[in-house]
Homo-oligomer: A and B are copies of this chain.
Amino acid sequence: MGKQMTEMLKGTLEGIVLALLTGKAAYGYEITTQLREQGFTEIAEGTVYALLVRIEQKGLVDVEKRPSEKGPPRKVYTLNTQGEKELNEFWNTWSFLSGRIEELRKEGK
């Protein structure tokens, strides 16, 4: 993946995944697939799993294990109240940053 994109994803990928979980539970492999479909074609699987471990430890999601028809059991993640709060803060932070940056772009800077 481009080095720029890698660095830019720091701090945003977590928000992206939380947003994906809004209103719809999902498991790791599924999230990876969704990210790929949405254009993030080169996000490594390991990156997603590490992130999921992190947000689980931070208490932003609830986890349930469900047997799969094919392959090992899935770990299904659901956004909880604290996760929604975190996602809200993410949108605030994002709005501020993207506002500033778009300003710079407009100024031809």
Contacts and interface: CB of A to CB of B under 8 A. Distances in A.
28 contacts: A2-B89, A2-B93, A4-B89, A4-B90, A5-B11, A5-B93, A5-B97, A6-B11, A7-B11, A8-B10, A8-B97, A9-B97, A10-B10, A10-B11, A12-B101, A15-B101, A16-B100, A16-B104, A19-B104, A19-B105, A20-B109, A22-B109, A38-B100, A38-B103, A40-B100, A94-B101, A98-B98, A98-B101
Contact of A8 (B38, B94, B104): B94
A88 B9 CA distance: 18
Q: How many copies does the complex hold?
A: 2
Contacts of A20: 104, 109
Question: Which range contains the number of A residues in contact with the other chain?
Answer: 20 to 34
5 tightest Cβ-Cβ pairs between the two chains A and B: A7-B11, A8-B11, A10-B10, A19-B104, A22-B109
A74 to B, nearest CB: 20
Contacts of A89: 2, 4
